[in-house]
Structure 1
Amino acid sequence: MLALASTLVVVPFGTAAIAGAVAAPVAALIALHALAVHRTAGPALAGAATATTVASGTAAALGEPPHYVAGVALVTGGAVAVAFATGRSRRRRRAHRSALVAYRAGTSAVPRFAALAERDRLAAELHDVAAHRLTGIVVSAGAALRLNDQERTAEALRHAIDAGRQAVRELDRLTGPGERAAVAGLADIDALAAEHGVDYRRTVDAAPGSSTEAAYRVVREALTNAARYAHGAAVRVHVERGGKSGGVEQIAMSGGPDRTGGGPGLTVTITDDGGTVAVPGLGTGHGIAGLRAAVRTAGGTLSAGPEGSGWTVRAQLPPAASPAVRRRPGWRGPIALDWALVVLAIALSLGASLLSADVPDSFRGFLPAVPTVLLSGLHAVPLGWRSRAPGRGLAAVLLALVLWLACDLAGWTQPPVSDIFLVYWWVELTLAHGCGAYLTSRHSHLAPLAVAAVGGVALASGSGITGNRAAAWAVLTGMLAFPAFAAWSLGRFTARRRERLRAAAARQRKLLDRDADAAVRDQRRRIAAGLRRTAHRHARAVVAAAEAGHLETVRTEARAGLAALRELLTELRDRDGGDAPPPTVAGIAALATRYGTAVRYTGSRRPAPAVVEVAAYRVAATLMAAGVTLTVRSLDDGVELSGPAPADPGVLRRLRVMADATGGTLSTSGRDAVRVWLPEVSPSRSE
């Protein structure tokens, strides 16, 4: 910024000499390019606007006529637009190279951390599912043995058979190759409450899947704990409309639950009146902590503690997030180069004409200037479609040439279209290159033919052509075909190179996924082997003893199974991942565990480009703090991260720099929340 300011100060004084009149603007453009490389888009755009203002203001201060000042503004605007766009492009390339280096260095850890994530998932499910079943067996068997009643004994045996078989099936599912269990819904909570015979009330008919799954886990753990520590107490379970997030999804839910389509939030409350400990030593000591993490991951909050003579567990779970708004990188992303070319084309066509000593005939009066201005714009604006719709852009440019030729024949425009095409047909060549680079159609080779044919018509209409104009058109078309096909071929080469890089990245991703899947399967096999030697064996023994009518053996085996589970869970939780997680979207969860942060993933999880994966990981690492919850949303056009806004302005600046390097944005809300959008920029090749 200092360099740009210094060069702009020199610009007014550099006009006194020819060397200064050239060197000062060149130095200013170099400084502006550096500003676009090293700073975010906002300061760079402000620098471009300032440079244009200084140049046109200097011309006005020197007493130049208005048309000359306008020409200076246009030409300067075109030059600074290109300097801005090329600087932004270099900034993104540097960020991309840095991300690739970090991604390649960290991908070796992907299989191991995938295995660790599977280990944590299995540990949570083992605690929630198998321990719940075995605890119920121990409690019911102990109660029947104390009462020594035949009816209660028979009931306890039947319960042991049913619950033991369910525990065996669930242990087989957890460690087998089959699919995971379906997400629990409100009907599953109804069934769970009916199974335990508690006072149950539900006043909500629909809710998001993430909230119902967390609510089910809360109810199941609370009922298990009530059976362990408040035996004989009256238990009440209420599932009601309401709920709020833990401060993360505030922006995403600003539209309100009625417009989300996914149902309202939930408030789940489980209370008991206090009771006695059924059997000492049944708990694992990790239930509430794991439950609180699960609720925070769903975006909610959990409280648990004594209330009156009993205990209360309350979870507040958020409504569904509002649908994501599709955005485009706009002038911050690669499309900035396309629109910079538009500005440059307008600057060279209109601006250069206005820089002449006398006012051009086409600009003497408002009406004569209208056709020239409109046709110049129509010839330049389609460059903005170079990477998104190059076929349509080229068609629009060629149509502009045809209209210009018609205006020439009517005597409405100056200069003639032959002069315009001869000087500015780099526009057609640029779009021919775009057709080769971004079109998948087999007919894209027609683009250079169209450029040559229409360009030949424009040149053949010139006043310098004498004799047979049809023959002249044929010769000129043949001459123009060579550079047009060269530009198109260069575009095809660029497209093939890009496809090769994408294919190589896809192969690398496939190999990485294969290694990760193998590590997950190996982790599952190891845990399955440990369970078969311990908890699984005890669960089968419970069923066998219950079928034989040996209730004391049922209780003994169930307690042994719980002890084995507790030992296995302790061993699993004591293991750490060691070094840093891989810099990917999936690696955010492992990093969050170390920071004491919860991560909520929403949207359809799919692989993103390496630059987006690494940027998302770095943004998450910057936002993380103990006790907060981050939301990572996968979108069709990128990845969005949201969380509590950092109090330190320096952290916000770093986040803005990270987002800007990928063409993304950072936004904050009045609720002290921050959202970072990282776009997945991939030019379309659909025409």
Structure 2
Amino acid sequence: MLVVLHLLAVHRTAGPSLVGAVIAALAAAGVAAARGEPLRYVAGVVLVAGGGVAIAWATGRSRRHRLARRSALADYEAGTAAVPLFAALAERDRLAAELHDVAAHRLTGVVVSAGAALRLGDQEQTAAALRHAGEAGRQAVRELERLTELGEYAALATFADIDELAAAHAVDYRRTVDTAPVSSTEAAYRVVREALTNAARYAGGAVVRVRVEGAFDRAKPPGGGRAAHGDPLLTVTITDDGGTAAEPGLGTGHGLAGLAATVSAAGGTLSAGPVGQDSRGGAGWTVRAQLPSATTPHIRRWPLWHGMFALDYALVVLAIALSLGASLLSADAPDSFGGVLPAVPTVVLSGLHAVPLGWRSRAPGRALAAVLLALVLWQACDRAAWTQPPVSDIFLVYGWVELTLVYSAAVYLSFRRGLFAPLAVAATGGLALAGGRGITGSRVGAWAVLTCVLALPAFAVWSWGRQTARRRDRLRAADARRRLLLDGDADAAVHEQRLRFATGLRGTALRHAQAVVAAAEAGNLRTVREEARAGLTALRGLLSGLRGQDSNDGRDEEDRRDGTGSGGAEDAPPPTVSGIAALAGRYGGAVQYIGPRRPLPAAVEVFAYRIASTLMALGVTLTVRRVHDGVEVSGPAPAVPGVERQLRAIADAAGGTLSTTDRGAVRVWLPEVHPWRSE
């Protein structure tokens, strides 16, 4: 029966396997009751059977976690070869987005203002257009030079930047929101900038209105619950009433598509389309983005009893089962169980001696101190004749509890802090044994001798724990070295991509932007417009090259998304947290990263990727939240039957938890394994 329970815990999630364990323990008690055994004996059977099935269940759970971790590490090793490639591709997409945002916006404004001035032939407007060309050209040069310096990152935009942008375009502008997450303000700025650039290109002379306001998501929770007020939103709306195209061929063809990806990655939605017609018959245009205006609080549930600490709690059950259960099963039950009141000290002390085992992985020093204190209290109660059996017998039979904590102290504590454990156990255990009835003569001398005798097994167990700790430290160091080499390869690929980008940029768009400034300073407005248009053309060509938008690249990309063609499995994203972004791109979805970027254990990275790949679907936006003790992956609940069961199985094998919200979201919390050594 124990073997079956062990296998059930290996191959099933925590709930079903725990139900099997409980049924097994109750079945053993039912057999005893059916035989007409006294209640004391039945209670002892329940405790002892419970201890046995708890250990069978916990060891099965531990094996389940080990097998899952081994599988994850194998996937990680197989997929790390793709990390440099996808790091370079991600950098390429970032550079392409920045190039479109920072330069196309400036040069478009130069072309529009120069073209208008040339058509009117007004000296005052020509002078204003030259001043604008000089200022915008110098800004474009600075921004492009920053990008050529091996792709340095731009500062994140704020609401003040949106105010300045709206003032520069002299639009009808109103903002009623003062705070929002950084990702939302950055996305809002890009929405406003792109919409204003498009209005200048295609709606010359139109009245443009920009609104940055607060709103609420009034979507009802799935299942027909009561209407909720909804989550707060940041709503950005840019509307024009229609106009005429300023110049043909100014667009790059990537603006709205890139903007939709940016808004989706920030956790929002974007819509754009024509609205009505003006008096000239031209359709107006509206761009609307809804973004989170507050950071969602991080709520995580540590899977204590069925997570990485299942064995610790099973040891608690075993210790209680052996100390109380074995006594209840004894033919001559001790006097301590002759009634309720006499049994209280024994039951309480048994619990105090066993419960600290549940802390052995997280706070082994405190756990050992609590257990030794329980042993001292037991000895005091023994002297007062409140408990049976005597503390010397308890330590002889259940001293494995102290030795287990000595092992844990050696594994999880530093050398100096862990060294006290075998000494404390030997001294306290010697004191417990020296107080036994069989000791004659000097009890102080007996305590000294027994302490020295107990020090031998205590230090042997401590040495075993130290060897385990050193082996785990070596494994962690090797993993850190592999990660360092992998990060170096990825950084080299990113640097090469930036160098290629900077070389192409210096010879094309940057040269034209510098020519715009020179022409503006020389007062040659026609050359200003020609150079600005040439710069936009160069940008369009560079963007197409970066994004692989020619026919061959497009076909290869479709092949990769479909898993066919030359790419297929070889081009699969690496199974890491960073690889989720590439996975989202293939599904037409997006991923929003929250929290500082930091290295995670390789197995946790793979588990997060598996969760994301199971949740991912067309157009879905996932959120990956990284905190100091793990990672959370959340997204819309899958509509396909059986997918949630797959998610639960992955989370369970990883030692995590799965929860659902009343708004149809699924959250999977994957805890990071606690550090092996506490300094």
TM-score class normalised by the smaller sequence = over 0.9
**Equivalent in 220, 223, 227 of residue 196 of structure 2:** 223
Determine the structure 2 residue equivalent to 1:424.
398
Deviation of 1:549 after TM superposition, in Å, equals 1.1
Is it true that 1:98 corresponds to 2:90 in the alignment? no
Matched AA of 1:370: V
CA distance in 2, matches of 1:164, 1:509: 43
Determine the structure 1 residue equivalent to 2:381.
407
Is it true that 1:640 corresponds to 2:654 in the alignment? no
Determine the structure 1 residue equivalent to 2:40.
67
Alignment of 1:397-546 (within 5 A): 397-440=371-414, 442-546=416-520
Is it true that 1:590 corresponds to 2:582 in the alignment? yes
Does structure 1 retain, via aligned residues, the 8 Å contact 2:430–2:450?
yes
SS of structure 2 residue aligned to 1:646? coil
CA distance in 2, matches of 1:138, 1:52: 82
Determine the structure 2 residue equivalent to 1:605.
597
Determine the structure 2 residue equivalent to 1:656.
648
Is it true that 1:118 corresponds to 2:110 in the alignment? no
Is it true that 1:203 corresponds to 2:176 in the alignment? yes
SS of structure 1 residue aligned to 2:211? strand
Is it true that 1:387 corresponds to 2:366 in the alignment? no
Instruction: Give CA-to-partner distance per residue, 1:66-115, whole Å, 9 cap, x none.
Output: 00000000001101111111111000100111111111111111111111
Determine the structure 2 residue equivalent to 1:35.
8
Matched AA of 1:135: T
Determine the structure 2 residue equivalent to 1:679.
671
Alignment of 1:113-512 (within 5 A): 113-177=86-150, 179-242=152-215, 244=217, 265-309=233-277, 310-440=284-414, 442-512=416-486
CA distance in 2, matches of 1:141, 1:355: 98
Is it true that 1:54 corresponds to 2:48 in the alignment? no
Instruction: Give CA-to-partner distance per residue, 1:112-151, whole Å, 9 cap, x none.
Output: 1111101000111111111111101111110010001111
| Worse-matched range after superposition: 677-686 or 544-553 | 677-686
Deviation of 1:360 after TM superposition, in Å, equals 2.5
Determine the structure 1 residue equivalent to 2:80.
107
Matched AA of 1:413: T
Q: Equivalent pairs: percent with the same residue?
A: 74
Does structure 2 retain, via aligned residues, the 8 Å contact 1:389–1:684?
no
Matched AA of 1:653: R
Does structure 2 retain, via aligned residues, the 8 Å contact 1:244–1:317?
no
Deviation of 1:357 after TM superposition, in Å, equals 2.8
Does structure 2 retain, via aligned residues, the 8 Å contact 1:245–1:299?
no
**Equivalent in 538, 546, 553 of residue 527 of structure 2:** 553
| Worse-matched range after superposition: 41-50 or 324-333 | 324-333
Does structure 2 retain, via aligned residues, the 8 Å contact 1:132–1:221?
yes
Aligned residues: 650
Deviation of 1:342 after TM superposition, in Å, equals 0.8
Instruction: Give CA-to-partner distance per residue, 1:315-361, whole Å, 9 cap, x none.
Output: 11112223213532201222111111111011111100111234332
Determine the structure 2 residue equivalent to 1:6.
none
Deviation of 1:489 after TM superposition, in Å, equals 1.1
Deviation of 1:598 after TM superposition, in Å, equals 1.1
Does structure 1 retain, via aligned residues, the 8 Å contact 2:217–2:230?
no
CA distance in 2, matches of 1:98, 1:114: 24
CA distance in 2, matches of 1:664, 1:247: 29
Matched AA of 1:217: R
Instruction: Give CA-to-partner distance per residue, 1:620-644, whole Å, 9 cap, x none.
Output: 1111111111111112221111111
| Worse-matched range after superposition: 442-451 or 231-240 | 442-451
CA distance in 1, matches of 2:441, 2:646: 67
Deviation of 1:443 after TM superposition, in Å, equals 3.7
Deviation of 1:247 after TM superposition, in Å, equals 11
SS of structure 2 residue aligned to 1:330? coil
Matched AA of 1:33: H
Matched AA of 2:21: A
SS of structure 2 residue aligned to 1:674? strand
TM-score (norm 1): 0.92
CA distance in 2, matches of 1:559, 1:244: 42
Does structure 2 retain, via aligned residues, the 8 Å contact 1:188–1:216?
yes
Does structure 1 retain, via aligned residues, the 8 Å contact 2:395–2:429?
yes
Does structure 2 retain, via aligned residues, the 8 Å contact 1:184–1:216?
yes
CA distance in 1, matches of 2:322, 2:3: 20
Does structure 2 retain, via aligned residues, the 8 Å contact 1:164–1:539?
yes
SS of structure 2 residue aligned to 1:601? strand
CA RMSD after TM alignment = 1.9
SS of structure 2 residue aligned to 1:675? strand
Is it true that 1:581 corresponds to 2:573 in the alignment? yes
Matched AA of 1:398: L
CA distance in 2, matches of 1:228, 1:64: 91
Does structure 2 retain, via aligned residues, the 8 Å contact 1:243–1:317?
no
Determine the structure 2 residue equivalent to 1:11.
none
Name the CA shift for 1:372/1:343 in 2 (closer, same or farther; >3 Å). same
Deviation of 1:517 after TM superposition, in Å, equals 1.3
CA distance in 2, matches of 1:52, 1:632: 41
Instruction: Give CA-to-partner distance per residue, 1:568-597, whole Å, 9 cap, x none.
Output: 111221255840111000000011111111
Instruction: Give CA-to-partner distance per residue, 1:496-546, whole Å, 9 cap, x none.
Output: 111111111112112211221121111011011111111111111111111
Does structure 2 retain, via aligned residues, the 8 Å contact 1:388–1:683?
no
Is it true that 1:614 corresponds to 2:614 in the alignment? no
Matched AA of 2:112: V
Does structure 1 retain, via aligned residues, the 8 Å contact 2:426–2:458?
yes
Does structure 1 retain, via aligned residues, the 8 Å contact 2:219–2:230?
no
CA distance in 1, matches of 2:321, 2:588: 55
Does structure 2 retain, via aligned residues, the 8 Å contact 1:246–1:300?
no
SS of structure 2 residue aligned to 1:316? strand
Deviation of 1:471 after TM superposition, in Å, equals 1.8
Matched AA of 2:661: S
SS of structure 2 residue aligned to 1:265? strand
Name the CA shift for 1:587/1:178 in 2 (closer, same or farther; >3 Å). closer
Deviation of 1:669 after TM superposition, in Å, equals 2.2
SS of structure 2 residue aligned to 1:331? coil
Post-superposition, which runs of at least 4 consecutive aligned residues in structure 1 deviate over 4 A?
A: 243-248, 254-258, 575-578
SS of structure 1 residue aligned to 2:419? helix
